[in-house]
Amino acid sequence: MSPEEQRSYQEELQKQQMNIVRQKMLFKFVDKQARERLNRIRIVKPNLAEKVEFAIVQAVQMGHLKNQIDDAHLKQILNEVIEEKKNFRITRK
């Protein structure tokens, strides 16, 4: 294996490990109904689901979440992520 192939392999392995950790966090902090909603969103809009997952994982890591996220809380997070996407400005010079 060349050094470049080895580096690529290690990066892929690291991504897989990070994905496993993220999935464990989501399983622990997101209840069944919210997880089902997130999976349905992933089918239709994978980028949105990824952003929501990132927001949840970030909240867990920062210690903001003490309880599981239910479906209503997930809807609130979804609205926040969608609003962030809508609120942008283009300035022309």
**Distance from C-alpha of 90 to C-alpha of 84, rounded to nearest angstrom:** 14
pLDDT tens figures, 27-62? 889 999 999 999 999 999 999 999 999 989 888 888
- Contacting residues for 25 by C-beta, under 8 A, at least 6 apart: 56, 57, 60
Question: For the chain, which domains are there?
Answer: 3-86 (1.10.8.140)
User: pTM score, two decimals?
Assistant: 0.73
In this predicted structure, the answer to whether residue 85 has a pLDDT above a threshold of 90 is: no
Dig out the tokens for 16 from the structure: 């897989």
